[in-house]
Structure 1
Amino acid sequence: MQQKGAIQIIEWEDLDKRKFYSLGVFMTLTTRATVYPASLIRTRLQVQKGKSLYSGTFDAFCKVLRSEGVFGLYRGFMVNTFTLVAGQAYITTYELVRKYVSHYSPSNTVKSVVAGGAASLVAQTITVPIDVVSQHLMMQGQGEHLTRFKAKPKMILAASKRRLTFGQTLDITMQIFAADGFRGFYRGYVATLLTYIPNSLCFYLLLHDYQLSLLAPSACPHLILQAVAGPMAAATASTITNPMDVVRARVQVEGRSSVIETFKQLLAEEGAWGLTKGLSARIISSTPTSVLIVVGYETLKRLSLRADLVESRHW
């Protein structure tokens, strides 16, 4: 384990990989289930024209809950769970790149920033096709008029109301393939990379800076310091990258092909204010995510420490 002041940094070679991956899947699934409603609200806010459907995050949450129920907040969640693969790819890439960069730089910040960017590239390459399908499912219900593809709802007579079923995932998938071919599942890939790689770089840079700037007692546990700095870094990174996230959502849901033209049209139609669409929902979703990434991930690594190193832990 690398020593950094009084902090012991657990590196890739210190981990019991079986524990690491099994606990990692649980942590990733828990995170996604927690933040998914905010992600759905964010997508609907970003895609709507002006305030044609919702006036804000709270209004959107209330309207979805009232008209579509709790189920409405989890539209597309089942297909989104396939991104668990991307989550494992992210943490594997992150740790392996950290190990590689350590041969060239001893700085923990440099290792985290480079590894975070590389991990985002790998994870988003896996995630984008799942996100494309998931976002179209998110837009069903109140937002279905804003998307190119509309799922065919099935009647469940026992409930005497419309409910979306898993079969609609296949329905949307086939519609995307019929309209755009395989490339349709990577629509918005460039915009996604331009959103999430800078977001990851900003997050790790700001996380380091905020930890240094916090006026905490020297005896303050490192995890507490991270728990405070994490949400601050996530909120700042989300604010910086939100304009591109709005463009990404519109490219994927509306079927646009040009990032630049989408950006120009957004500015022309809604002005600079349009670039802030869904920001509060994005910050709401990024806060628990950042805590779980920073604190949860650090705890995950501690729980996954190799048996022969357990006695050497001093937290």
Structure 2
Amino acid sequence: MEDKRNIPIIEWEHLDKRKFYVFGICMTMMIRVSVYPFTLIRTRLQVQKGKSLYKGTFDAFVKILRTEGAAGLYRGFLVNTFTLISGQCYVTTYELTRKYVSHYTNNNALKSLVAGGSASLVAQSITVPIDVVSQHLMMQRKGESMGRFTVRHQDGKGLLVFGQTKDIIVQIFKADGFRGFYRGYVASLLTYIPNSAVWWPFYHFYAEQLSSLTPKDCPHLLLQAISGPLAAATASTLTNPMDVIRARVQVEGKSSIVLTFRQLLAEEGPWGLTKGLSARIISATPSTIVIVVGYETLKKLSLRPELVDSRHW
């Protein structure tokens, strides 16, 4: 099936699901390894008061590398890898929702909007507890913590990775009970549902516009690789204020989105709502290129054998 701009669109029913999931997990893992340091930096920038510790993305990168080593850029990474499950749920929900909505409309932007929002709702319900734990691990600096909880040290040495994770989980449960693992859930939904719902329509919009401006023999994959980061930058800019509030609610243990918003404005003004935006865009740009190229290639590799020869790229 091709849209009006002649950009191939592979739908869910065209895929060999076994290939799709195996290749998808491998691709997602590679992406997480490459962009995780910027996710950690973004979170620390969003949580810090003013510029008390880091002046910006590059400054944070240099200071973390200098004081904590390369391992400092991957604090909480192993815990965060459990979100691979939510990633597969996200893709499945997105594709199935697109298929369902296509019964009522052929508008690609509308299908992407509804599917993107629905996929994010499902994924965040799985991801938030993992995010809460991994973010507290991200906040553990050498000898201190930027968040509510501090990993205990024994005999001058830090606990092993899984010991640190267990320690944080126990502290969260003691302080807030089971609800603590879903702290910031509403803020996460208000951040990621709009982000996902906006990204997909913009992605297709930019791809269509670029297709109309470039020669017919221009590879579609190149246009999609350019469209992905443009869509990511647009969605990140629109949703960053809520992302800052989400990070503070989860890390600082706040219970009110409105009060967190007011406090942020009172302490740092409107500029505080842009904190971490550059790190977010920097991490989103390469990761989105990899995601888009990987996802579109993944779908091509996962095509059912009888459909391979019918596709022209």
Q: TM-score, normalised by structure 2?
A: 0.95
Alignment of 1:46-125 (within 5 A): 46-125=46-125
Contact 1:242–1:276 (CA<8 Å) still a contact in 2?
yes
Distance in 2 separating the partners of 1:100 and 1:259: 33
Tell me the CA shift for residue 262 of structure 1: 0.1
* Partner SS for 1:167: helix
Q: Could you give the per-residue CA deviations for residues 60-88 of structure 1, whole angstroms, max 9, x where no partner exists? A: 00000001000000000000000000000
Residue aligning to 2:201: 205
How far apart are 1:106 and its partner, in Å? 1.1
1:262-281 to structure 2, matched below 5 A, reads 262-281=260-279
SS in structure 1 opposite 2:55? coil
Q: 2-side partners of 1:165 and 1:152: how far apart?
A: 12
**Amino acid of the structure 2 residue aligned with 1:95:** E
Residues 142, 282 of structure 1: alpha-carbon distance in 2 compared, 3 angstrom cutoff = farther
Write the deviation string for residues 103-128 of structure 1: whole angstroms up to 9, x where unpaired. Answer: 00112222111111100000011000
Seen in structure 2, the aligned counterparts of structure 1 residues 74 and 155 have a Cα distance that, compared at 3 Å, is farther
Q: Give the drift of 1:165.
A: 2.1
Partner of 2:128: 128
2-structure distance, mates of 1:52, 1:291? 33
Residues 153 and 165 in structure 1, CA contact (< 8 A), matched pair in contact too? no
Contact preservation (8 Å) 1:14, 1:305: yes
Percent identity between the two aligned chains: 70
Distance 2:102 2:291 in 1: 21
Taking a change above 3 Å as real, the CA distance of residues 154 and 306 of structure 1, as seen in their structure-2 partners, is farther
**Do the aligned partners of 1:154 and 1:165 also contact (CA within 8 Å) in 2?**
no
Any unmatched runs of 5+ in structure 1?
none
Quote the RMSD (CA, aligned, Å). 1.6
Contact 2:35 2:287 in 1 (8 A): yes
Corresponding residue for residue 4 of structure 1 = 3
* 1:144-163 pair list within 5 angstroms: 144-153=144-153, 162=158
CA distance in 2, matches of 1:65, 1:211: 37
- Distance of aligned partners of 1:101 and 1:218 in 2 relative to their CA distance in 1, 3 Å threshold: same
Structure 1 residues 112 and 293 mapped into 2: Cα distance closer, same or farther (>3 Å)? farther
**How big is the shift at 1:201?**
1.6
Query: How far 1:205 sits from its partner (Å)?
Result: 2.2
Q: What's the TM-score once normalised by structure 1's chain length? A: 0.94
Q: Residue 265 of structure 2 aligns to which amino acid in structure 1?
A: L
C-alpha change, 1:64 and 1:164, in structure 2 (3 Å) is farther
SS class of match (1:8): coil
Report SS of the residue matched to 2:8: strand
C-alpha contact (below 8 Å) 1:207/1:233 kept by paired residues: yes
2 CA distance for matches of 1:244 and 1:108? 27
Q: Contact 1:89/1:119 (CA < 8 Å) preserved in 2?
A: yes
Choose from 205, 208, 214 the match for 1:216: 214
5+ long unaligned stretches in structure 2: none
